[in-house]
Each structure stands twice: as C-alpha cells, then as structure tokens.
A and B are shown apart, each in its own frame.
Chain A
Amino acid sequence: MEEQKNIELLLRKWLDGEATPAEIAVLEQWEEFHTYKKIAETALLFTLPKPNSQQSYKQLQQNLASHKKRRSAIFKPLLKIAAVAAIIALAFGGYTYYFTTHNYTTKTAQTKHITLPDNSKVSLSVASVISYSRFNWKQNRNLTLEGEAFFEVEKGEKFTVETPLGNVSVLGTTFNVEQRDNFFEVTCYEGKVLVVTPQKTLHLVAGESFSLNNGNITTQKTNLNTPDWVNGYSSFTSIPITEVIKALERQYAIEIKIKNVTFGSDDLYTGTFVHDNLSSALQSIALAFNLTYQQNGHVVTLQKGE
C-alpha cells in the first residue's frame, strides 16, 4: 500500500519532468511503468503540423482585408443585388460545369486528345466514347470507356477506367485500354495498373499486356512505350482476321465485303496495317491471306485471288 503510493508520487513527478535519475531507475523496475512510458511517448505523434507563424500572419492580414471589403459592400444595396445575381449565375454555371457528365466521342476514322482536370491526358482512338464528371475529380478519378484509349495519368488518388468487361485502376502511369464487343485488352507502359474483371483480378507492370477475348485470358509482353495506334498503325498478334477487318473498317470508315471466302475463328492474323494509307493497309491484309481487293468509294470487296 505504502509502496503503491510512493510509486504514484514518483509517476506524477516524472510526468512533470522532475524525477531524478535515481527515481526513474526505481520506476523502471516496476513492470507497468513501460506501459505508461509508451502512452506518454506516443502522445508526441499527435502533434498538429505547424504552419510558419510569419506566413500564417500574412494569411490573417488577407482575411482582415476581405472582412473590410465585405463590410463596405453591405452598405451598397445595388452591389448587393449584383452580387446575388452573380452568385446565382455562378452557381448555375458551376452546377452544369461540375455536375453534368462530360462525354467525348470519336467516330470512325477520328481520334481525339483530351486533358482531364488534373492534367492527366487521354488519347481517344477511333469509334470510342469516354465520359466523366468534373465534380470532385481530384478525389474521385473515375471515367467510363467504350472503345479504346491511351491514358497518361498524373500522380494522385486512384484513377479508375470502367468498361463493361472490367475495370482498370492506377495511381499514376501510362496505359492503354481497349474494349470492343467481347474483346478487352489492357496494356501497361509505365508504372503499375490493377485490372479487375469478373474472371480475374491481376496487377500489370510496365511492359505487360492482358487480354480477354470471349472469356479467353491471355497475357503478353510488349516492349513499346506507347500503343501502336498512337503511332499511326495497328498491330495484331494471332487475332482472328474478322476482328482485324472490323478494326480496318473503324480506322478508315469503310465497309468491307468478303466474297467467295469464309473466315472462321481459326483464321488468325499476325501483322500490322498503317493508318494513313488505305491501299497499303488493305494490301498487308490481302497478301497474308492470298486475297485481292477492289475499292469502290466507301465499299471495299475482298475476294479469293485468281
């Protein structure tokens, strides 16, 4: 009992920083002291970040100045009305600006470059749509994509691209997402991205590519820095020729008809076609399958070579 009281007295002294080394040594022998010591020391982690006093004084001066201004405005009814009108106009404008969803659409044979509110960049490939809301963008970087786009994301909060077949999340990096019909492909060019699909969740690091084609998952490596379409051509590795033909149609806004030959899902194409020269692009596909082509305005006919 006596000892307990003594320890309590020492503890109080120690809290005031008045305990002598000998007294601290006594406390140290007491087992519970370490619990108390930890509690006393942990408090230090709860400090408030200190702003520079001189700078916060400047802040105060600004606050004082704005107070003075506000005061004088009260005595001018006209100004008051004008202010109210301006606030309503701003609020309305701001509302439509911030809360409505922004849509960007590209048609076939058209690409767009978009800068998001945080300076992240999106290159939208042909026949694609993205939409996002400006509201609270910095905290909530979510956008939806249908089609294909290349992203250069500034560092910040989680950046998520939602598509019907899966989501891609990153913190700050460059990557390409393509989703068309049942095809979904994500390629990471820098940093690290998280791909979430109903079938699989995985991380991609730079140089890795993930694709989902009618439920079939494949992962590949790439050593490019940007997707091919950004550089003006499309490249394919073991992709069904029917998909390649669709890509060609989108790219050049043409319609391709196939005569006296049928393609199955086993007819795969590995190769590229350029985006700025239709006959060259057609040739690269026609040659691979021993076809000939005829162009008539927007319609191109592919048929078995003679």
Chain B
Amino acid sequence: MPKSLHNNTCQETVFKKIYLRYADEIRNFLYYKFGSNLNPEDKMQEAFIKLWKKCKDVPPEKAKSFLYTVANNAMLNEVKHKKVILKYQQQKKEHTNHQDPQFLLEEEEYLKKYQLALAELSEAQRVAFLMNRIEGKKHKEIAEILGISQKAVEKRIYGALKKLRKTIKEL
C-alpha cells in the first residue's frame, strides 16, 4: 500500500497542525489529572518532542493517542508521591461589586475548600468533571477523548459533583 506523501508526521506542516490541534487539549488533560505543580506545559512539550523523534513510526491518525500516552507516562514517572494541586484564578471582575470583606473572606475560604475537595476526587472523576465544566465539553466528546462509554463519563461527572459537595460540607 503506497503511503501518502502529504500525510506524514515528519512533515513540518503536518506536525505543526497536530501541535496546534492537540497541544491545549493535552496540557489541560494533564492539569486536570495531576494538578499544576508538575508543570503540565513541560510534559506536553516532552510528548511532542518524542513524537517528532518517532515521526516515522507514528502516522498522523495515531498521533493523538501516542501523545496522550507519552505525556501521561511522563507525568506518572514523577507524580507518585506528590499531592495534586489545582490553582484557582483570582475572582473575576463581576464579583467586585460585593466588596463586603466578610463576603470576600467566605469566598476565599470556599475556594480553598474547593481546592482540597478537587484533590480528593479520583483522577478519573476529576478529569471528566473539569473537561465538562471548564471546557464545556459534552459527555459524548469526553467519552471519545478518554476512550470510554458515554454512560461511564456521565457516572464520573455526576459522582464528582456529589463527592465535591460532600467533601466541601465536611471540611
């Protein structure tokens, strides 16, 4: 079977297309799963460096799963004994009309609890939940990315919501 010349990962244009298509997605995935203290950006870049080195063996249609696997493994090598921390952004503008310090303090308190509660979720729950809430991805899309059934995604997201509520309440 003849290989198409224009469909080769080693070609810079193809490689760049793959990068622009998946870089954000993979960085976010790593962040949801492992938090920000292990530098998801670096691991994502490492995965692309590996892809470039192996570009002859990995056709573009397999690039995505290759990248996810490599990035995930790179993280796992480091992750073992580190705690997951996700960073929250400072409150957005629309909240500034509530300048009541009591309110601000409570909000800050709530965010801290939320942060701890996120760390308490299982990796699977956290990834699915944050993909859904932050990126607004449909259950169906998440199922495709993670390679699991739509029902499983629904279960993870719903489970995450329940667990967050329980942990925040108890803290």
Please list the residues of chain A having a beta carbon within 8 angstroms of any beta carbon in chain B: 8, 11-12, 15-17, 35-36, 39-40, 42-51, 53-54, 56-57, 59-60, 63-64, 67
Q: Are B23 and A47 in contact (CB under 8 A)?
A: no
Which one of B3-11, B40-48, B56-64, B74-82 is at the interface? B40-48
Closest to A57 in B: B19
* A-B CB proximity, top 4 nearest: A43-B133, A45-B88, A16-B139, A48-B31
Q: Give 10 pairs: A residue, B residue, CB < 8 Å, sorted on A.
A: A15-B132, A17-B136, A46-B87, A46-B114, A47-B134, A48-B27, A49-B89, A57-B23, A63-B45, A63-B49
From residue B145, how far is it (CB to closest CB) to chain A in Å? 15
Chain A binder among B65-73, B96-104, B160-168:
B160-168
Contact A59 B24, beta carbon cutoff 8 Å: no
Give, as a whole number of angstroms, the nearest-CB distance from A36 to chain B. Answer: 6
Chain A contacts for B45, CB-based, 8 A:
56, 59-60, 63
B83 CB to nearest A CB, Å: 15
From 124 to 160 in chain B, residues with beta carbon under 8 angstroms from any chain A beta carbon are 129-130, 132-134, 136, 138-139, 154, 157-158
- Tally A-B pairs: CB < 8 A: 85
Q: Which of A8, A40, A57, A64 contacts B133 (CB 8 A)?
A: A40
Given contacts A48-B40, A51-B41, contact A17 B138 (CB under 8 A): yes
Question: A residues within 8 A CB of B111?
Answer: 42, 45
Inter-chain contacts of B88 with A (CB < 8 A): 45-46
B28 touching A48, Cβ below 8 Å: yes
Beyond the given A15-B158, A46-B89, please list 16 additional residue pairs across the A-B interface where CB-CB is below 8 A.
Answer: A39-B114, A42-B114, A43-B134, A44-B133, A46-B86, A46-B118, A46-B130, A47-B134, A49-B89, A51-B41, A56-B41, A57-B20, A60-B45, A60-B48, A63-B49, A64-B52
Assembled-state Cα–Cα distance A48/B28 (Å):
7
- In the complex, which of the residues B28, B91, B92, B168 contacts A39, with contact meaning CB atoms closer than 8 Å? B168
Which single residue of chain A is at the shortest CB-CB distance from B142?
A16
Q: Separation in Å of the A116 CB from the closest CB of chain B?
A: 29
Chain B residues closer than 8 Å to A64, beta-carbon distance: 49, 52
* Bound-state Cα–Cα, A156 to B27, Å: 29
Residues of B within 8 A of A (CB): 16, 19-20, 23-24, 27-28, 31, 36, 40-41, 45, 48-49, 52-53, 86-89, 91-92, 110-111, 114-115, 118, 129-130, 132-134, 136, 138-139, 154, 157-158, 161, 164-165, 168
User: From residue B19, how far is it (CB to closest CB) to chain A in Å?
Assistant: 5
Closest-CB distance, A32 to chain B (whole angstroms): 8
Q: Given the complex of chains A and B, what is the CA–CA distance between A67 and B49 in angstroms?
A: 9
Nearest-Cβ distance from residue B28 to partner chain A, whole angstroms: 6
CB of B40 within 8 A of CB of A36, answer no
Smallest CB separation, B47 vs chain A (Å): 10
**Bound form: Cα–Cα A64–B52 in Å:** 8
- Nearest-neighbour CB distance to chain A for B120, whole angstroms, equals 13
Q: Are A45 and B89 neighbours in the complex by a CB distance under 8 Å?
A: yes
How far in angstroms is the closest Cβ of chain B from A53? Answer: 5
Q: Which residues of B contact A49 (CB under 8 A)?
A: 89
Q: A17-B136, A63-B45 are in contact. Are A48 and B36 (CB under 8 A)?
A: yes
Residues of B within 8 A of A11 (CB): 158, 161
Q: Which of B36, B138, B158, B164 contacts A12 (CB 8 A)?
A: B158
Q: Given A48-B36, A48-B40, are A53 and B23 also a contact pair (CB < 8 Å)? A: yes
List of A residues within 8 angstroms of B89 by Cβ: 45-47, 49
A43 touching B139 in the complex, CB below 8 Å, given contacts A15-B161, A57-B16, A64-B49: no
Q: Which of A40, A44, A51, A60 contacts B19 (CB 8 A)?
A: A60
**Contact of B23 (CB < 8 Å), options: A8, A40, A56:** A56
Can you name the residue of chain A whose Cβ is closest to the Cβ of B91? A45
Tell whether, in the assembled complex, residue A53 and residue B133 are in contact, meaning their CB atoms are under 8 Å apart.
no
Nearest chain A residue, comparing its CB with the CB of B130? A43
A72 to chain B, nearest CB (A): 14
Question: How far is B157's CA from A39's CA once the two chains are assembled, in angstroms?
Answer: 12
